[in-house]
Amino acid sequence: MRCPYLDCKADIAGGRTRCQKCERQLKICRKCATSNRVFAVHCRECGTPLPDSDADWPMFKQSAQGLGVNRFVITKKFPEIRPEHEENFRLPDRCKSLLVYDNYLFAISQGGEVKVVDISQVPFKELTSFNVGGKVYSVPALNHGSLYIGAEKSLQAYSLGKLFSDTSAVEPRWTVPVNATPIRSLLPVENRLLFTLAYPDRHHEICMISDIETDHPGSPATLHSGSHLSSMAAHFTAKNKKVYFFSANGSEEVELHCIDNITGSDAELVTLPVKKAPSKFRKVIPIAIIGASLFVVFKKDETLCRVDAATGEINALLCKNVQDFVMAGITEPIVNNSKGLFFKRINRQAEFQSGQKIRGNPLVLKDFAVIVGMGDGNVHLYDIRNPEMPAVWDVSDHPTDQITALAASRNILMAGNDKGLVKICRL
């Protein structure tokens, strides 16, 4: 069998999930065992629908679980990690998001410019670029062969099926108008897309569009509204898919909402009080979920708490003064606070405080490393097991530039800043 990518065509052994020559990810058809390209939705040989890839949405906090955990592991050991091959390109304005799907980087600017780069080649190859026609406020989503973007007063879907053909095209599939801006967050779940709308009077709504994998999706339907809504996080099992979010209206009372069986015809919204909530939550900090535990930051003392997803009970206060966080485990938060990066009980060792302020959102590479953008425009890599001696990657020539986006794919790191510079390096 040959590699399905047109610029490779190498012979590959049956059943392999990655080409040995070009190192690109493959989707294997369960019916006929044909190898397909990573963004394929149907088998190129028999037309059978292909499953979702575990490469969907592996960027900061925008997996369905909101964990900020990337599945890749750097193969080199600390402190020998050093950038070897570096390249860069520019977006016309501030880098809003870097999405990496296997060997493909999607760089999105605040103003709506999207560039797609093949990072498997040296030098890296820009495949295509386009503009969505308005500002982008939320992190876009890659899911099941499509790119979803929340632009000004519209949701847009783009098909990636022809990205690796002769034309290297990203094809617009549909645009759905919405009656407010900005769109704060996106969460695709199979054939449905959930999103959060913000109105000028600070009113918020969580809405849903059905049939997003067709060319004619449904109109937005409001699932919940209020003045104080969190982001969304989802827990998927083989039998059920649940979406969670928090709300608070007027008083300090906080509620946990669960949309049970979100993809079924009998979807149900279940609401639970969050008993003994210390205050309202910080809605600008995304929530996260691990198994049956939700993680949310409350305003009082900026406290990160663990909440039981089944009962709404707060069962642990993990740490205070939290400006952002990722979870390396159910009891191991890595926190951005006023003094820098704070590691709490990593592998039951002593706590560690970096003492240097950070600007980028932390990104965890499984249980191996933490990547953060610093206030001086550089990127630090911390060994989770021994964080005292980080590796340093110089991204910007100007110490006032701010890191705004991070991504990683195996031994490749990517960083974007507020001036539109996107830098890529191999380790």
Question: What pLDDT digit, counting tens, does each position of 119-133 carry?
Answer: 888 888 898 999 999
Q: Tokens for 68, please give them.
A: 């900020």
Give the residue with greater pLDDT, 339 vs 295: 295
Tokens of 10: 């190498």
Q: Is the pLDDT of residue 210 over 90?
A: yes
For residue 317, give the amino acid letter: L
**Residue 376: C-alpha distances to residues 287, 352, 355, 398 (Å):** 27, 21, 14, 8
State mean pLDDT over 97-102: 84
Point out the least confidently predicted range of 76-80, 109-113, 278-282.
Answer: 76-80
Which residue is listed with tokens 């040296």? 122
For residue 182, name the pLDDT band (cuts at 50, 70, 90): confident
Q: Which residues pair with 417 in a beta bridge?
A: 403
* C-alpha distance from residue 295 to each of 173, 182, 285, 317 (Å): 35, 25, 10, 10
The pLDDT value given to residue 338: 77
Nearest to 56 by CA among 144, 116, 148, 147: 144
Give the pLDDT of residue 87: 92
What is the four-CA torsion angle of 200, 205, 206, 212, rounded to 10 degrees? -70
CATH number for 69-426: choose from 3.90.580.10, 3.30.450.20, 1.10.1370.20, 2.130.10.10.
2.130.10.10
Instruction: Please check whether residue 84 is in contact with residue 426, taking contact to mean a CB–CB distance below 8 angstroms.
Output: yes
How far, in Å, CA of 122 to CA of 274, rounded? 52
Instruction: Say whether pLDDT at 385 is over 90.
Output: no
Better-predicted residue by pLDDT, 11 or 180: 11
Do strands 314-319 and 324-329 pair parallel, antiparallel, or not at all (unpaired)?
unpaired
More confidently predicted of 182 and 310: 310
Predicted pLDDT at 166: 64
HSE-CB for 400 with a 13 A CA cutoff: 1
Contacts of 265 (CB under 8 A, 6+ apart): none
CA distance 256 to 195: 17
Between 50-54, 63-67, 220-224, the lowest mean confidence (pLDDT) is in 50-54
Q: Where in the chain is the domain with CATH 2.130.10.10?
A: 69-426
Distance, CA of 369 to chain centre: 17
Q: What is the pLDDT of residues 127-175, one digit of tens each?
A: 899 999 999 988 898 888 889 999 988 999 998 877 766 667 788 999 9
Cα-based distances in Å from 28 to 14, 145, 305: 9, 15, 41
- Model confidence at 350, pLDDT cuts 50, 70, 90, reads low
Q: In what order do the strands lie in the sheet with 412-417?
A: 85-90, 421-426, 412-417, 403-409
**pLDDT at 65 exceeding the cut of 90:** no
| Bridge partner list, 304 | 297, 319
Of 213, 110, 114, 204, the residue nearest 161 (C-alpha): 213
Task: Report the pLDDT value the prediction gives residue 348, as an integer from 0 to 100.
Answer: 55
Residue 8: the pLDDT is: 81
